[in-house]
Amino acid sequence: MANKEAIVVPFLDLKTQYRTIAPEVEPAVTRILAEGAYILGKEVEAFEKEFAAFLGAGHAIAVSSGLDALRIALQALGIGPGDEVITAANTFIATALSITGVGARPVLVDPDDATANIESSTISRAITPRTKAIMPVHLYGLPADMEPILALAKQHGLPVIEDACQAHGANMNGRRAGTFGEIGCFSFYPGKNLGAAGDGGMVVTNRPDLAEKLRRLRNYGQERKYYHVDLGGNHRLDEIQAAILRIKLRRLDGWNQARQGHARAYTQELSSMPLVLPRIPEGRTHIFHLYPVRTPRRDALQAHLTSRGIGTLIHYPIPIHLQPAYKHLQIAEGALPVAERMGRELLSLPMFPELTAAQIEEVVAVVRSFFA
Protein backbone atom coordinates (compact mmCIF):
# COMPACT_ATOMS: atom_id res chain seq x y z
CA MET A 1 0.00 0.00 0.00
CA ALA A 2 1.36 3.39 -0.98
CA ASN A 3 2.08 5.76 1.89
CA LYS A 4 -0.38 8.62 1.98
CA GLU A 5 0.98 12.14 2.27
CA ALA A 6 1.19 12.78 6.02
CA ILE A 7 -1.43 15.29 7.22
CA VAL A 8 -0.08 17.62 9.88
CA VAL A 9 -2.69 18.77 12.40
CA PRO A 10 -1.62 21.65 14.65
CA PHE A 11 -3.25 21.94 18.06
CA LEU A 12 -4.32 25.48 17.16
CA ASP A 13 -4.04 27.44 13.91
CA LEU A 14 -4.55 31.20 14.19
CA LYS A 15 -3.08 32.02 10.77
CA THR A 16 -5.82 30.32 8.77
CA GLN A 17 -8.48 32.27 10.67
CA TYR A 18 -6.60 35.52 10.21
CA ARG A 19 -6.63 35.10 6.43
CA THR A 20 -10.46 35.01 6.52
CA ILE A 21 -10.72 38.34 8.38
CA ALA A 22 -7.65 40.20 7.06
CA PRO A 23 -9.65 42.20 4.47
CA GLU A 24 -11.68 43.74 7.32
CA VAL A 25 -8.99 43.91 10.01
CA GLU A 26 -6.23 45.58 8.03
CA PRO A 27 -8.16 48.73 6.99
CA ALA A 28 -9.59 49.04 10.52
CA VAL A 29 -6.13 48.95 12.10
CA THR A 30 -4.74 51.39 9.54
CA ARG A 31 -7.61 53.79 10.14
CA ILE A 32 -7.03 53.79 13.90
CA LEU A 33 -3.30 54.33 13.46
CA ALA A 34 -4.02 57.31 11.21
CA GLU A 35 -6.68 58.77 13.51
CA GLY A 36 -4.27 58.87 16.45
CA ALA A 37 -6.73 58.02 19.27
CA TYR A 38 -5.35 54.84 20.80
CA ILE A 39 -6.81 54.49 24.30
CA LEU A 40 -10.43 54.41 25.59
CA GLY A 41 -11.97 55.80 22.42
CA LYS A 42 -14.95 54.92 20.30
CA GLU A 43 -13.82 51.40 19.32
CA VAL A 44 -13.63 50.29 22.97
CA GLU A 45 -16.97 51.92 23.69
CA ALA A 46 -18.64 50.26 20.69
CA PHE A 47 -17.09 46.88 21.51
CA GLU A 48 -18.35 47.10 25.10
CA LYS A 49 -21.90 47.80 23.87
CA GLU A 50 -21.76 45.00 21.30
CA PHE A 51 -20.31 42.46 23.73
CA ALA A 52 -22.93 43.34 26.38
CA ALA A 53 -25.68 42.92 23.75
CA PHE A 54 -24.17 39.60 22.60
CA LEU A 55 -24.38 38.26 26.16
CA GLY A 56 -27.55 39.99 27.24
CA ALA A 57 -25.62 41.71 30.03
CA GLY A 58 -26.37 45.16 31.40
CA HIS A 59 -22.82 46.54 31.33
CA ALA A 60 -19.50 45.49 29.82
CA ILE A 61 -16.15 47.04 30.74
CA ALA A 62 -13.21 46.19 28.49
CA VAL A 63 -9.92 45.44 30.23
CA SER A 64 -6.40 44.35 29.40
CA SER A 65 -6.61 40.61 30.18
CA GLY A 66 -8.69 37.87 31.76
CA LEU A 67 -6.52 37.99 34.87
CA ASP A 68 -7.12 41.74 35.22
CA ALA A 69 -10.86 41.17 34.71
CA LEU A 70 -10.94 38.67 37.59
CA ARG A 71 -8.76 40.85 39.75
CA ILE A 72 -10.78 44.04 39.45
CA ALA A 73 -13.96 42.00 39.91
CA LEU A 74 -12.67 40.91 43.33
CA GLN A 75 -11.51 44.45 44.09
CA ALA A 76 -14.89 45.92 43.12
CA LEU A 77 -16.55 43.57 45.61
CA GLY A 78 -14.14 44.71 48.33
CA ILE A 79 -12.41 41.34 48.70
CA GLY A 80 -8.93 41.42 50.21
CA PRO A 81 -6.65 40.16 52.98
CA GLY A 82 -8.30 37.75 55.44
CA ASP A 83 -11.02 36.80 52.95
CA GLU A 84 -11.55 33.42 51.27
CA VAL A 85 -12.75 32.83 47.72
CA ILE A 86 -13.91 29.38 46.66
CA THR A 87 -12.79 28.19 43.24
CA ALA A 88 -11.75 25.12 41.26
CA ALA A 89 -8.55 23.18 41.93
CA ASN A 90 -8.28 22.19 38.24
CA THR A 91 -8.45 25.65 36.66
CA PHE A 92 -5.83 27.70 34.82
CA ILE A 93 -3.46 29.43 37.24
CA ALA A 94 -4.91 32.91 36.52
CA THR A 95 -8.11 32.16 38.43
CA ALA A 96 -6.13 31.51 41.62
CA LEU A 97 -3.68 34.35 40.93
CA SER A 98 -6.53 36.86 40.83
CA ILE A 99 -7.51 35.80 44.36
CA THR A 100 -4.00 35.88 45.81
CA GLY A 101 -3.43 39.08 43.82
CA VAL A 102 -5.91 40.96 46.02
CA GLY A 103 -4.45 39.34 49.15
CA ALA A 104 -7.27 36.83 49.67
CA ARG A 105 -6.99 33.05 50.02
CA PRO A 106 -8.15 30.65 47.31
CA VAL A 107 -10.14 27.77 48.77
CA LEU A 108 -9.84 25.02 46.20
CA VAL A 109 -12.51 22.43 45.62
CA ASP A 110 -12.39 19.23 43.61
CA PRO A 111 -14.35 19.25 40.32
CA ASP A 112 -17.16 16.92 39.33
CA ASP A 113 -15.68 13.89 37.61
CA ALA A 114 -18.08 14.01 34.64
CA THR A 115 -18.02 17.73 33.75
CA ALA A 116 -14.70 18.95 35.23
CA ASN A 117 -16.65 21.89 36.72
CA ILE A 118 -17.12 22.59 40.42
CA GLU A 119 -20.57 21.94 41.85
CA SER A 120 -22.75 23.38 44.60
CA SER A 121 -22.45 20.31 46.87
CA THR A 122 -18.65 20.52 47.12
CA ILE A 123 -18.65 24.31 47.21
CA SER A 124 -21.10 24.16 50.11
CA ARG A 125 -18.69 22.11 52.22
CA ALA A 126 -15.92 24.68 51.64
CA ILE A 127 -17.88 27.67 52.96
CA THR A 128 -16.51 29.18 56.20
CA PRO A 129 -17.24 32.45 58.05
CA ARG A 130 -14.35 33.97 56.04
CA THR A 131 -15.80 33.08 52.62
CA LYS A 132 -16.46 36.28 50.66
CA ALA A 133 -17.19 35.00 47.13
CA ILE A 134 -17.64 31.94 44.94
CA MET A 135 -15.73 31.85 41.67
CA PRO A 136 -16.90 29.00 39.43
CA VAL A 137 -15.00 28.41 36.18
CA HIS A 138 -16.82 27.39 32.99
CA LEU A 139 -13.97 25.09 32.12
CA TYR A 140 -13.22 24.03 28.53
CA GLY A 141 -16.30 25.97 27.33
CA LEU A 142 -18.96 24.10 29.31
CA PRO A 143 -21.01 26.25 31.71
CA ALA A 144 -20.91 25.11 35.34
CA ASP A 145 -24.27 24.11 36.80
CA MET A 146 -25.15 27.66 37.84
CA GLU A 147 -28.65 27.44 39.28
CA PRO A 148 -27.72 25.42 42.41
CA ILE A 149 -24.55 27.51 42.80
CA LEU A 150 -26.58 30.73 42.69
CA ALA A 151 -29.08 29.31 45.19
CA LEU A 152 -26.26 28.35 47.56
CA ALA A 153 -24.64 31.78 47.16
CA LYS A 154 -27.92 33.52 47.88
CA GLN A 155 -28.49 31.40 50.97
CA HIS A 156 -25.10 32.52 52.34
CA GLY A 157 -25.25 36.09 51.02
CA LEU A 158 -22.17 35.55 48.83
CA PRO A 159 -21.48 37.14 45.45
CA VAL A 160 -20.64 34.89 42.49
CA ILE A 161 -17.87 35.87 40.09
CA GLU A 162 -17.88 33.72 36.97
CA ASP A 163 -14.58 32.89 35.33
CA ALA A 164 -15.98 32.72 31.78
CA CYS A 165 -12.53 33.07 30.20
CA GLN A 166 -13.11 29.84 28.24
CA ALA A 167 -16.84 30.24 27.64
CA HIS A 168 -17.58 33.19 25.29
CA GLY A 169 -21.10 32.53 24.04
CA ALA A 170 -21.78 29.25 25.86
CA ASN A 171 -25.23 29.13 27.38
CA MET A 172 -27.31 27.36 29.94
CA ASN A 173 -31.09 27.28 29.83
CA GLY A 174 -30.97 30.15 27.34
CA ARG A 175 -28.67 32.43 29.34
CA ARG A 176 -25.10 33.12 28.32
CA ALA A 177 -22.21 32.17 30.61
CA GLY A 178 -20.90 35.23 32.44
CA THR A 179 -24.35 36.74 33.07
CA PHE A 180 -25.43 34.55 36.02
CA GLY A 181 -23.35 35.96 38.84
CA GLU A 182 -22.63 39.45 40.18
CA ILE A 183 -19.74 39.76 37.72
CA GLY A 184 -18.61 37.71 34.71
CA CYS A 185 -15.01 37.76 33.47
CA PHE A 186 -13.67 37.04 29.99
CA SER A 187 -10.24 36.74 28.39
CA PHE A 188 -9.39 37.62 24.80
CA TYR A 189 -6.02 35.87 24.84
CA PRO A 190 -5.37 34.92 21.18
CA GLY A 191 -6.16 31.22 21.62
CA LYS A 192 -9.57 31.79 23.26
CA ASN A 193 -12.78 31.34 21.24
CA LEU A 194 -12.81 35.14 20.89
CA GLY A 195 -9.17 36.20 20.76
CA ALA A 196 -7.40 39.52 20.23
CA ALA A 197 -4.11 40.02 18.39
CA GLY A 198 -2.54 40.32 21.82
CA ASP A 199 -4.03 40.51 25.30
CA GLY A 200 -7.49 41.65 26.28
CA GLY A 201 -10.40 40.93 28.59
CA MET A 202 -13.90 42.00 29.64
CA VAL A 203 -15.88 42.34 32.84
CA VAL A 204 -19.67 42.20 32.66
CA THR A 205 -22.30 42.93 35.28
CA ASN A 206 -25.95 43.84 35.57
CA ARG A 207 -25.35 46.11 38.57
CA PRO A 208 -24.83 49.78 37.63
CA ASP A 209 -22.97 50.49 40.90
CA LEU A 210 -20.45 47.72 40.20
CA ALA A 211 -20.14 48.79 36.55
CA GLU A 212 -19.17 52.29 37.65
CA LYS A 213 -16.62 51.00 40.14
CA LEU A 214 -15.14 48.55 37.61
CA ARG A 215 -14.81 51.37 35.08
CA ARG A 216 -12.86 53.41 37.61
CA LEU A 217 -10.70 50.50 38.74
CA ARG A 218 -9.50 49.77 35.21
CA ASN A 219 -8.40 53.38 34.77
CA TYR A 220 -6.40 54.46 37.84
CA GLY A 221 -9.48 54.69 40.05
CA GLN A 222 -10.32 57.89 38.23
CA GLU A 223 -13.83 59.34 38.56
CA ARG A 224 -13.11 62.41 36.45
CA LYS A 225 -9.86 63.64 35.01
CA TYR A 226 -7.14 63.67 37.69
CA TYR A 227 -9.63 62.94 40.47
CA HIS A 228 -9.11 59.44 41.92
CA VAL A 229 -11.55 57.77 44.29
CA ASP A 230 -10.25 54.15 44.19
CA LEU A 231 -6.80 52.58 44.30
CA GLY A 232 -7.20 51.45 40.69
CA GLY A 233 -4.67 50.42 38.11
CA ASN A 234 -4.02 50.50 34.41
CA HIS A 235 -6.15 47.62 33.12
CA ARG A 236 -7.31 49.16 29.82
CA LEU A 237 -7.97 47.55 26.46
CA ASP A 238 -6.61 49.57 23.55
CA GLU A 239 -8.47 50.78 20.48
CA ILE A 240 -6.71 48.54 17.97
CA GLN A 241 -7.57 45.40 19.92
CA ALA A 242 -11.17 46.55 20.37
CA ALA A 243 -11.52 47.13 16.62
CA ILE A 244 -10.19 43.65 15.86
CA LEU A 245 -12.42 42.07 18.51
CA ARG A 246 -15.52 43.83 17.10
CA ILE A 247 -14.85 42.26 13.72
CA LYS A 248 -14.34 38.84 15.30
CA LEU A 249 -17.35 39.07 17.63
CA ARG A 250 -19.67 39.10 14.59
CA ARG A 251 -18.29 35.69 13.65
CA LEU A 252 -18.13 34.17 17.12
CA ASP A 253 -21.40 32.22 17.10
CA GLY A 254 -20.49 30.77 13.69
CA TRP A 255 -17.02 29.80 14.90
CA ASN A 256 -18.48 28.22 18.03
CA GLN A 257 -20.89 26.23 15.85
CA ALA A 258 -17.95 25.02 13.77
CA ARG A 259 -16.21 23.85 16.96
CA GLN A 260 -19.39 22.06 18.04
CA GLY A 261 -19.50 20.27 14.68
CA HIS A 262 -15.88 19.15 15.09
CA ALA A 263 -16.65 17.95 18.63
CA ARG A 264 -19.62 15.93 17.36
CA ALA A 265 -17.36 14.31 14.77
CA TYR A 266 -14.70 13.45 17.36
CA THR A 267 -17.32 12.10 19.76
CA GLN A 268 -18.98 9.97 17.09
CA GLU A 269 -15.73 8.56 15.74
CA LEU A 270 -14.04 7.97 19.10
CA SER A 271 -16.96 6.66 21.16
CA SER A 272 -15.85 3.04 20.72
CA MET A 273 -12.34 3.80 22.02
CA PRO A 274 -11.36 3.26 25.69
CA LEU A 275 -11.52 7.01 26.29
CA VAL A 276 -13.71 9.22 28.45
CA LEU A 277 -15.04 11.90 26.09
CA PRO A 278 -16.54 15.32 26.94
CA ARG A 279 -20.22 15.11 27.85
CA ILE A 280 -22.83 17.87 27.58
CA PRO A 281 -25.42 17.88 30.36
CA GLU A 282 -29.05 18.66 29.48
CA GLY A 283 -29.85 22.35 29.03
CA ARG A 284 -26.27 23.48 28.41
CA THR A 285 -24.30 24.32 25.28
CA HIS A 286 -20.61 23.52 25.19
CA ILE A 287 -18.56 25.84 22.98
CA PHE A 288 -15.56 23.51 23.00
CA HIS A 289 -12.77 25.93 23.74
CA LEU A 290 -11.05 22.59 24.26
CA TYR A 291 -11.86 18.97 23.49
CA PRO A 292 -10.14 16.97 26.25
CA VAL A 293 -10.24 13.17 26.26
CA ARG A 294 -9.28 11.04 29.25
CA THR A 295 -7.22 7.88 29.50
CA PRO A 296 -4.78 6.44 32.07
CA ARG A 297 -2.46 5.95 29.08
CA ARG A 298 -2.41 9.69 28.39
CA ASP A 299 1.36 10.20 28.11
CA ALA A 300 1.78 7.31 25.65
CA LEU A 301 -1.20 8.52 23.59
CA GLN A 302 0.27 12.01 23.47
CA ALA A 303 3.66 10.68 22.37
CA HIS A 304 1.98 8.60 19.66
CA LEU A 305 0.02 11.62 18.34
CA THR A 306 3.13 13.83 18.44
CA SER A 307 5.13 11.26 16.44
CA ARG A 308 2.43 11.38 13.75
CA GLY A 309 2.38 15.17 13.46
CA ILE A 310 -0.69 15.85 15.61
CA GLY A 311 -0.51 18.65 18.16
CA THR A 312 -2.00 18.16 21.61
CA LEU A 313 -1.79 19.96 24.96
CA ILE A 314 -2.63 19.12 28.56
CA HIS A 315 -5.13 21.34 30.41
CA TYR A 316 -3.79 21.30 33.03
CA PRO A 317 -1.02 18.92 34.08
CA ILE A 318 -0.59 20.28 37.63
CA PRO A 319 -3.58 21.37 39.73
CA ILE A 320 -3.31 24.67 41.60
CA HIS A 321 -2.56 23.16 45.02
CA LEU A 322 0.46 21.24 43.68
CA GLN A 323 1.99 24.27 41.95
CA PRO A 324 5.18 25.46 43.68
CA ALA A 325 3.70 28.99 43.84
CA TYR A 326 0.87 27.65 46.03
CA LYS A 327 2.96 25.54 48.43
CA HIS A 328 1.90 27.95 51.17
CA LEU A 329 -1.69 26.72 50.93
CA GLN A 330 -0.33 23.50 52.43
CA ILE A 331 -2.71 21.20 50.61
CA ALA A 332 -1.13 17.77 50.37
CA GLU A 333 -1.03 15.60 47.27
CA GLY A 334 -4.05 13.29 47.38
CA ALA A 335 -6.31 15.91 48.97
CA LEU A 336 -8.08 16.78 45.71
CA PRO A 337 -8.09 13.43 43.92
CA VAL A 338 -10.37 14.27 40.98
CA ALA A 339 -8.32 17.30 39.97
CA GLU A 340 -5.12 15.30 40.39
CA ARG A 341 -6.39 12.42 38.26
CA MET A 342 -7.50 14.86 35.56
CA GLY A 343 -3.98 16.28 35.57
CA ARG A 344 -2.62 12.80 34.88
CA GLU A 345 -5.24 11.61 32.38
CA LEU A 346 -6.59 14.49 30.28
CA LEU A 347 -5.34 15.25 26.79
CA SER A 348 -6.75 18.04 24.60
CA LEU A 349 -7.09 17.16 20.91
CA PRO A 350 -6.73 19.77 18.14
CA MET A 351 -9.70 22.15 18.24
CA PHE A 352 -10.26 25.36 16.30
CA PRO A 353 -13.04 26.44 13.93
CA GLU A 354 -11.01 26.01 10.74
CA LEU A 355 -10.14 22.32 11.33
CA THR A 356 -10.90 20.43 8.11
CA ALA A 357 -12.74 17.13 7.76
CA ALA A 358 -9.47 15.56 6.55
CA GLN A 359 -7.63 16.81 9.65
CA ILE A 360 -10.32 15.42 11.97
CA GLU A 361 -10.23 12.11 10.12
CA GLU A 362 -6.47 12.01 10.57
CA VAL A 363 -6.68 12.69 14.32
CA VAL A 364 -9.32 9.96 14.65
CA ALA A 365 -7.30 7.46 12.61
CA VAL A 366 -4.14 8.07 14.64
CA VAL A 367 -6.01 7.77 17.98
CA ARG A 368 -7.55 4.51 16.75
CA SER A 369 -4.19 3.17 15.67
CA PHE A 370 -2.88 3.79 19.18
CA PHE A 371 -5.56 1.57 20.74
CA ALA A 372 -5.51 -1.05 17.92
Ligand X SMILES: *Cc1c(COP(=O)(O)O)cnc(C)c1O
| Binding residues for ligand X (CB under 6 A) | 65-67, 91-92, 94-95, 137, 163, 165-166, 187, 189, 199, 201
Give residues with Cβ within 8 angstroms of 333, minimum separation 6.
322, 340
> Collapsing DSSP states into helix, strand and coil, what is residue 325?
helix
- Of 32 and 139, CB closest to ligand X: 139
- Of 160 and 301, CB closest to ligand X: 160
Give residues with Cβ within 8 angstroms of 266, minimum separation 6.
277, 291, 349, 360, 363, 364
Task: Answer left, alpha or beta for residue 112, where phi above 0 means left and psi between -120 and 50 means alpha.
Answer: beta
Beta-strand ranges (E) seen in the chain are 59-63, 84-88, 105-109, 131-135, 161-163, 171-172, 175-176, 183-187, 201-205, 222-224, 227-228, 291-294, 346-349
CB of 202 to ligand X, least distance (A): 10
What is the DSSP secondary-structure string of 7-32? PPB-S--HHHHHHHHHHHHHHHHHHH
CB of 7 to ligand X, least distance (A): 28
Q: Answer yes or no: are the C-beta atoms of 345 and 298 closer than 8 Å.
A: yes
Q: Answer yes or no: are the C-beta atoms of 304 and 370 closer than 8 Å.
A: yes
- Of 187 and 359, CB closest to ligand X: 187
- Of 187 and 256, CB closest to ligand X: 187
CB of 317 to ligand X, least distance (A): 15
- Of 149 and 301, CB closest to ligand X: 149
**Total number of residues shown for the chain:** 372
CB of 305 to ligand X, least distance (A): 22
CB of 12 to ligand X, least distance (A): 13
- Of 95 and 359, CB closest to ligand X: 95
CB of 86 to ligand X, least distance (A): 15
CB of 66 to ligand X, least distance (A): 2
- Of 201 and 278, CB closest to ligand X: 201
Closest CA to 282 of 167, 186, 147: 147
- Of 352 and 360, CB closest to ligand X: 352
CB of 69 to ligand X, least distance (A): 8
> Collapsing DSSP states into helix, strand and coil, what is residue 307?
helix
CA distance 2 to 264: 31
- Of 178 and 301, CB closest to ligand X: 178
CB of 110 to ligand X, least distance (A): 16
> Collapsing DSSP states into helix, strand and coil, what is residue 52?
helix
In the complex, residue closest to ligand X by CB: 66
Residues in a beta bridge with 205: 59, 183
Is the bond leading into 18 cis (omega within 30 degrees of zero)?
A: no
CA 349 distance to own-chain centroid = 17
